């Protein structure tokens, strides 16, 4: 199986920056697409950004031009650089990954436990 562990959340003032990291660990797996989702209080979880194993990216309209997703395939780690943060970016941010478990040759989807980002006005 695969475990995803996020880090880098915290409290920041509006206009500030944070960098989230998510490292995948386990045994005998290959990570395909990775992404970041967020869930604000009282709202549904939404996709923030995603990146394929080849590096193609996709962003939610609300974060385009402010957030950048990247990955280090050698480290099985995905990053989310968040700049020009706004109070409406306040949410729990979750890492998500598609992974092929080699012993089963099966594609499964995994979630991290989340990291809280709070942007004060």
CB 40 within 8 A of CB 110: no
The residues that bridge with 111 in the sheet, in sequence order, are 96
Digit-coded pLDDT (tens) for 48-94:
999 999 999 999 999 999 999 999 999 999 999 999 999 999 999 99
Reduced to 3 states, what is the DSSP secondary structure of residue 68? strand
- Residue 1 neighbours by CB under 8 Å, 6+ apart: 26, 101, 110
Q: How do residues 86-103 score in pLDDT, each as one tens digit?
A: 999 999 999 999 999 998
**Distances, alpha carbon 103 to alpha carbons 21, 23, 116, in Å:** 27, 21, 34
Are 10 and 18 in contact by the 8 Å Cβ rule? The answer is yes
């Amino acid at each position: 199986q695969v475990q995803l562990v996020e880090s880098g959340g915290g409290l920041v003032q509006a206009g500030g920056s944070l960098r989230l990291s998510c490292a995948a660990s386990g045994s005998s797996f290959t990570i395909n697409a990775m992404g970041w989702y967020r869930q604000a209080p009282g709202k549904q979880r939404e996709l923030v950004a995603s990146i394929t194993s080849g590096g193609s990216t996709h962003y939610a309209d609300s974060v385009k031009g402010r957030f950048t997703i990247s990955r280090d395939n050698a480290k099985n780690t995905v990053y989310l650089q968040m700049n020009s943060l706004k109070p409406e970016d306040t949410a729990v941010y979750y890492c998500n990954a598609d992974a092929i478990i080699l012993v089963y040759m099966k594609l499964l989807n995994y979630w991290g436990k989340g990291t809280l980002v709070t942007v004060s006005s």
